[in-house]
Structure 1
Amino acid sequence: MTGILVNIYRKMLSGFIILVCTICFFLVAGFISSSNISFFKFKVNGDIGADVFLRIISYENPLIGHALTGSNADLPILSTGFKLLTNVEMNDIRSLIRSEIPGFMAFDSNFLIADEGVDFTDIPIESAPPMEVLLQERNMAANELKELNSGKIYSGSSPTEKSVFIYHTHSWESYLPLLGLEGAENENEAVDGKTNITIVGELLGKELEKRGIGASVDKTNIGQELDKKGWMTHKSYEISRSLVQSAMAGNEKLDYFIDLHRDSVRKDSTTATINNEPYARLVFVIGEENKNFQKNLKFANELHKILNKDYPGISKGVLPKKGIGVDGIYNQDLHANTLVVEVGGVDNNMKELKNTIEALADAISQIYWKAEEVNG
């Protein structure tokens, strides 16, 4: 009798577990089907994990299957399985070594639009030192501060209507000469919580205002904000995203969003002499995984063409980025006229930066006033 009761109990327990698992499965499937597919941005062994996951779910929920289009719709079973098991892509020989050679993945992308002579060695490299290093604050080197304050100082009134929002996701990025470290071998020394890329943002804001364009410059210390939350530097785009969203909510007239960065490659790649004047070279970075990619690309391409027409060689080109190890969106899904702009590299000095910012302001103003004529 006891044995019969035990068997009944086991069957009831098994049935209960199956029922709970079934309910959980359909709850998850229902949540996914009612959510935006783009929410699932996680990756497994590369950039196909979400595709595989959604494809599996689609067998139970047809709504998911209808949402999968293009390359997501039909995954080649052999190559997909091989990549999941080995992280090697059958149609890309670079995947055999990209994980084995330090720094190789930094070059795992190509310029979509490039100036003459630009190659993979000119691709911007992102790097971030430990939090305690990027939080330090130092004054600008005396000779660089003198250069910053030299020349005619704009004293005109600022436009009351702000159309451009300038911000800095990696606000700690600085330049070796500005910190009195010109020629230092370690590029990771070019970081600071005070003397950094935000100075370049202020320069761009002033140059735009000279041209009658209102600009709002955000100088939030992103390093401090990350430290408060206990986050690592890879979460910096979450901080800057909130800044952009707040700016948009507070001013519907904002129509251009410029995220200024500094490259980590060295001087021979980031400096150009144009009409006997030194310039820090620019790179426009576009996240391929954002819904506004084509519009962002159009904006970046316009700037690239104008700049290299007026200042030949100042712009290296337009670099699209996606996949493992990169953000792939860069907050560019928030607006069509949103860009990440790499302004020079760790070795550029204030003279080179000032010249380049004037050139960039010229190019932005041409696009801005042309659009105003069309809209007006």
Structure 2
Amino acid sequence: MLKPFKDMIIGSVAATALAIGLVVFFVFPNQQSSVLYSPLVAKLTQHDTTTNLIMFGLSAEVPFLQEYLESIDVEMPTSVKTLKLLTGFAPRDFTSLLEMASSQWYMKSQFQTASGGPVESPPPDFEELAQEDTGQTEESEPTNTDASVFIYHSHSWEAYLPLLEDATKPSEASSTNNKTNVVFAGNLLKEALETKGMEVQHDTTNVTKLLVENNWDYYDSYKLSRQTIRSVTAKNEKIEYMIDIHRDAARKDTTTAKIDGKNYAKVYFIVGTEHETYKQNLNFTETLNKKLKEKYPGISRGVFKKDYSEGDGIYNQDLSKHSILIEMGGVDNTKEELQHTASAIAEVLNSYMQQAEKVTNEEE
């Protein structure tokens, strides 16, 4: 009688070991030995088509996921896409998808929840996007050694549909053209701040191109922007305020506010909580958010805190107590709406900086 029970135990242990082995094999392709390594499996585990297939499978059980896929117009992969998959088209990091699917970030950050959290765009095909002909030069702005404000973009490819010529779907809102993506929004903010008498340094780096050149992917974007910050602050120690501008993937009714007869692109402040001084950033962000809501009721979607389970968790905000990440509008916001919002942000930031300078002078 003990033999069937013993066989069952042995069988269970063997099945568990096999399952763990398969998980390690698929999830950690870089750790596969030369004996087990399979180019086909590596492509399957790093490809966006695989990502979409898994996402559609999970959506059958997760309503939030199904709604999200529909909102960003992600379609079921076709046989043509499958053929491209087998030829090595557009590699992706599948490991991060699994981490996302098993964490709170999967529910809170990647999808618009009932509480109205930020919506992340799916990563674009970087290799294809890097080949985009924008007709613009790749020269960076000269260093402004008097600047106290630094504007940059960890996801510089995030674009706005009204500024693109042929794109109509949220999944198509990616571009390296700085007249159509968040770099444009950053330039609007820079101009608005400069009209207030502030010195600003704006980084217009083509993040997509640098990621491809470094053989990095979407999940390395904050590592890249961290290098940019280090490089800029090494030349200018006066920089105190660091603003990383993104745009949300939510649609127009969520990201637009009408205030005194004018439309504004709503803003969403993101604060990373995975560093020791995050409360300083949180205090700074909440103060700005309060000023913005008082002056422009309805323009802010609030302050959203993120830890490692919901994304990067730090967002380079450990480099300054006045570092913020702003989701400036969404995929459907127009040039005029972004312009109005840039002026509003500049107004409250200028007010904050003047007050902070006054306090500093009084203490001295």
Q: State if a TM-score over 0.5 links the two structures.
A: yes
Instruction: Specify the alignment match of 1:357 in structure 2.
Output: 342
In 2, the alpha carbon distance for the partners of 1:213 and 1:318 equals 25
For the residue of structure 1 that corresponds to 2:227, the secondary structure is: helix
In 2, the alpha carbon distance for the partners of 1:369 and 1:108 equals 39
Instruction: Specify the alignment match of 1:261 in structure 2.
Output: 246
Gaps of 5+ in 1: 1-44, 46-96, 111-117, 141-158
Q: 1:126: Cα distance to partner?
A: 3.9
Contact 2:105 2:311 in 1 (8 A): no
Instruction: Specify the alignment match of 1:228 in structure 2.
Output: 213
Q: 1:161: Cα distance to partner?
A: 2.0
**Structure 1 counterpart of 2:123, one-letter code:** A
Mapping of residues 67-106 of structure 1, within 5 Å: 101=65
Instruction: Specify the alignment match of 1:200 in structure 2.
Output: 185
| Residue 259 of structure 2 corresponds to residue 274 of structure 1 | yes
In 1, the alpha carbon distance for the partners of 2:264 and 2:160 equals 14
Contact 1:256 1:338 in 2 (8 A): yes
**Structure 1 counterpart of 2:115, one-letter code:** F
Q: Deviations over 1:88-115 (max 9, x none)?
A: xxxxxxxxx77995668556349xxxxx
Q: 1:122: Cα distance to partner?
A: 4.3
Q: 1:129: Cα distance to partner?
A: 1.3
Instruction: Indicate which of 246, 251, 263 corresponds to 2:236.
Output: 251
In 2, the alpha carbon distance for the partners of 1:363 and 1:247 equals 25
Instruction: Specify the alignment match of 2:120 in structure 1.
Output: 125
CA distance 1:187–1:101, change in 2 (3 Å): closer
Contact 2:64 2:107 in 1 (8 A): no
For the residue of structure 2 that corresponds to 1:125, the secondary structure is: coil
Q: 1:251: Cα distance to partner?
A: 1.1
Q: Deviations over 1:331-371 (max 9, x none)?
A: 01111110110000000010100000000000110111111
In 1, the alpha carbon distance for the partners of 2:237 and 2:346 equals 22
CA distance 1:130–1:371, change in 2 (3 Å): same
Q: 1:213: Cα distance to partner?
A: 0.9
Q: Deviations over 1:245-285 (max 9, x none)?
A: 11222111111000000111111100010000000000000
Mapping of residues 181-330 of structure 1, within 5 Å: 181=166, 184=168, 186-194=169-177, 195-324=180-309, 326-330=311-315
Gaps of 5+ in 2: 1-23, 25-60, 69-100, 137-143
CA distance 1:256–1:100, change in 2 (3 Å): closer
Contact 1:281 1:315 in 2 (8 A): yes
Q: Deviations over 1:34-64 (max 9, x none)?
A: xxxxxxxxxxx9xxxxxxxxxxxxxxxxxxx
For the residue of structure 2 that corresponds to 1:121, the secondary structure is: coil
In 2, the alpha carbon distance for the partners of 1:193 and 1:109 equals 28
CA distance 1:101–1:256, change in 2 (3 Å): same
For the residue of structure 2 that corresponds to 1:343, the secondary structure is: strand
For the residue of structure 2 that corresponds to 1:313, the secondary structure is: coil
CA distance 1:272–1:133, change in 2 (3 Å): farther
CA distance 1:129–1:317, change in 2 (3 Å): same
In 1, the alpha carbon distance for the partners of 2:229 and 2:314 equals 14
Instruction: Specify the alignment match of 1:21 in structure 2.
Output: none
In 1, the alpha carbon distance for the partners of 2:329 and 2:351 equals 22
Greater C-alpha Rg = 1
Contact 1:301 1:318 in 2 (8 A): yes
For the residue of structure 2 that corresponds to 1:308, the secondary structure is: helix
In 2, the alpha carbon distance for the partners of 1:245 and 1:202 equals 21
CA distance 1:109–1:273, change in 2 (3 Å): same
In 2, the alpha carbon distance for the partners of 1:121 and 1:180 equals 29
Contact 2:106 2:310 in 1 (8 A): no
In 2, the alpha carbon distance for the partners of 1:248 and 1:210 equals 23
**Structure 1 counterpart of 2:306, one-letter code:** K
CA distance 1:133–1:363, change in 2 (3 Å): farther
Contact 1:286 1:293 in 2 (8 A): yes
TM-score normalised according to structure 2 size: 0.65
Q: 1:244: Cα distance to partner?
A: 0.8
In 2, the alpha carbon distance for the partners of 1:298 and 1:164 equals 18
Contact 1:107 1:120 in 2 (8 A): no
Q: 1:197: Cα distance to partner?
A: 0.8
In 2, the alpha carbon distance for the partners of 1:106 and 1:257 equals 24
In 1, the alpha carbon distance for the partners of 2:300 and 2:248 equals 13
Farther off after superposition, 121-130 or 290-299: 121-130
CA distance 1:293–1:213, change in 2 (3 Å): same
Aligned length: 255
In 2, the alpha carbon distance for the partners of 1:119 and 1:365 equals 33
Q: Percent identity?
A: 38
Contact 2:154 2:244 in 1 (8 A): yes
In 2, the alpha carbon distance for the partners of 1:261 and 1:121 equals 17
**Structure 1 counterpart of 2:148, one-letter code:** S
